Amino acid sequence: MNGVLLMYPPGKMYQRGEDRAQCNVEESVSVEMRACNDLGYAAAILREKGYDVLLRDYQTEKKDAEYVKNEILAFRPKMIVISVTYGTVVKDLEYARGILSFYECLIVLKGAAFFDPEPKILHELDLEGIRCMIGGEMSFIIGPLADCLLRGEGNLAQIPGISWYENGELKKTDFCTFHENVDELPFPARDLMNNTLYKRPDTGEPMATIQISYGCPSGCIYCLTPMLSGRKVRFRSIENIFSEIEECYYKYHIRHFFFKADTFTIDRERAIGLCDRIIHSPLCGKISFTVNSRTDTLSPQLCAKLKKAGCFMVAVGFESGSDETLRRIGKHADTEKSREAMRMLREAGLPVYGFFMVGFPWETEADIRNTFDFALRLRPDYVEIHTAMPYYGTGLYTECEKLNTIEGSSFGFDYIAPNTKGTAYVDLARIERLKKQFLLRFHSDPAFLRRIAVQCASEPSKLGHYLYYGVRLLKNIVRNHSGKGRESR
Ligand code: SF4
């Protein structure tokens, strides 16, 4: 039997399914692990082709290596696909070599680190024993790749978005082709996913991820999306999306959703169209969802529709309190747009999860403090602070190189602990201290505490979840992030 094991390996929890952000979950403020849709799509495609598939999110299940070894020996897959992130790839490779020490099979890695890789960069990783690396969109690659490696059909050179070593030489195919007809994909194989692992943060109820579109026309210099998914947005049709929502609701009894798009509101008319489809359906009032947005893509009408359709939270990338930094990072928005977006969301009664980023190589301490002061004035309901992380291939990497702020390899690092010295003017440890001071100030503000208390009074079941995030925040504030890296991953 041609069995395929698709896995998130044991270890720290990272958003492995999100090549763009690859967020370190436990060291974030209130991010929860999202569903492993990348594996779910791959499983559905492989199953349609007649492969025997086992899908496992060992990191979120908190399974150890011994448990995984027993499953591998029982299932005996011909191929194991491991979803990796920049932050975990070094540990993931150690883990993959560990598998090969007791079991012979083909190991394939999937992750943003393998998008059109330069040989000199891949040399930083020990890829011995790895059969192939997927850097393009796995959903469109896994089928032909399995057919080639397991059934001998076609050859690797014809499959876009992959690389591999042959006689010590790195071979790679075309990384510029993006599959247009995204409605062709089957829905993720949720019968193989443990849907109870992925939760709405404030209630702990199961939350499914529904892919809305692929790609982003913007070019924020720190972001991997334009490179990984292209600058042309490829949308699923509203009916195709709605059918998947119905399947989740009626078949899997999931009522909460994360509508995943690089920017959900990038096309207002489509976003309104999906809201209307929900509003005029029997599911209206029975489901809730969260979306993300840029500050320049909202309108009062869209905010009102989102609220009516059941949106419980909008995540917004405000990023900076400096117009100059917003210009330099290619955000195509300014601080006035941020204030305007906040006003629209507030008026519609939509809670806001604000994302900010500090530590750009040109920033002084005054710039960083200015962003924190801006965040305090904007007052989103929840907040996340990232430190600028120069991933290979991004404009930020080039800017950091120019100002000589990069420290070593990008592998093993993330937005919580980047591979930089800090900025040209502020060291990383100082940025970390400023960040912690801000987080303490934000979360101890009486208005914030009052709002949480009011929510818990009206829905007591939320209390446990808020306490969990409060403890996690305190642990992260006490923990020393600066100077961390691959050794701790
Ligand atoms: S708006 Fe910027 S940060 Fe958001 S997905 Fe597009 S390029 Fe990335």
Q: How far is ligand 1, taken at its centre, from the CA of residue 62, in Å?
A: 31
Does 272 lie in the same domain as 404?
A: yes
Indicate if 139 and 205 belong to the same structural domain. no
Asked whether 294 lines ligand 1 (CB < 6 A), one says: yes
Same domain assignment for residues 377 and 235 = yes
Which atom from ligand 1 is nearest to the alpha carbon of 217?
Answer: 6
Residue 318 structural domain:
191-488
Same domain, yes or no: 141 and 214: no
- Atom of ligand 1 at shortest range from CA of 292: 4
In a domain, 186, yes or no: no
- Cα–Cα distance measured from residue 201 to residue 469, given in angstroms and rounded to the nearest whole number: 9
Q: Which structure tokens are listed for 424?
A: 């040209």
165 and 197 both lie in a single domain: no
220 within ligand 1 shell (Cβ under 6 A): yes
With a 6 A CB cut-off, is 262 part of the ligand 1 pocket? yes
SS3 state of residue 478 = helix
From residue 373, give the alpha-carbon distance in Å to each of 4, 78, 378: 50, 54, 9
Let me know whether 130 and 196 are in one domain: no
Q: Is there a domain that residue 180 lies in?
A: no
The verdict on the CB of residue 319 being under 6 Å from ligand 1 is no
* Residue 37 Cβ contacting ligand 1 at under 6 Å: no
Evaluate whether residue 372 is within a structural domain: yes
Q: For residues 297 and 334, is the Cβ–Cβ distance under 8 A? A: no
The per-residue pLDDT for range 81-92, each reduced to its tens digit, is 999 999 999 999
User: Given a cut of 70, is residue 432 above it in pLDDT?
Assistant: yes
Any domain includes 209: yes
Report the domain count for the chain.
2
Rounded mean pLDDT, 18-41: 88
User: Which is nearest to 106 in space by CA: 156, 135, 67, 149?
Assistant: 149
Q: Is residue 479 part of a domain?
A: yes
Task: Find the mean pLDDT for residues 302-306.
Answer: 97
Same domain, 462 and 429: yes
- Answer yes or no: is the C-beta of 263 below 6 A from any ligand 1 atom: yes
Is 303's pLDDT higher than 60? yes
How do residues 109-129 score in pLDDT, each as one tens digit? Answer: 999 999 999 998 898 999 999
139-170 pLDDT, tens digit per residue, is: 999 999 999 999 999 999 999 999 999 999 99
What distance in angstroms lies between residue 216's CA and the mean position of ligand 1's atoms?
A: 6
Residues 135, 23 share a domain = yes
| Distance between Cα 487 and ligand 1 center (Å) | 30
Query: Are residue 292 and residue 214 in the same domain, yes or no?
Result: yes
CATH of the domain at 255: 3.80.30.20
Residue 183 lies in a domain: no
Same domain, 116 and 149: yes
Domain stops at, among 110, 138, 169 = 169
CATH of the domain at 147: 3.40.50.280
203 and 139 co-located in one domain = no
For residue 226, the ligand 1 atom closest to its alpha carbon is: 7
223 CB near ligand 1 (under 6 Å): yes
* Atom of ligand 1 lying closest to residue 330 CA: 2
Q: What are phi and psi of 213, to 5 degrees?
A: -155, 175
Within a domain: residue 177?
no
Do the domain assignments include residue 241?
yes
Q: Are residues 63 and 140 in the same domain?
A: yes
| Ligand 1 contact via 317 beta carbon (within 6 Å) | yes
Which residues have C-beta within 8 Å of that of residue 152, sequence separation ≥ 6?
none
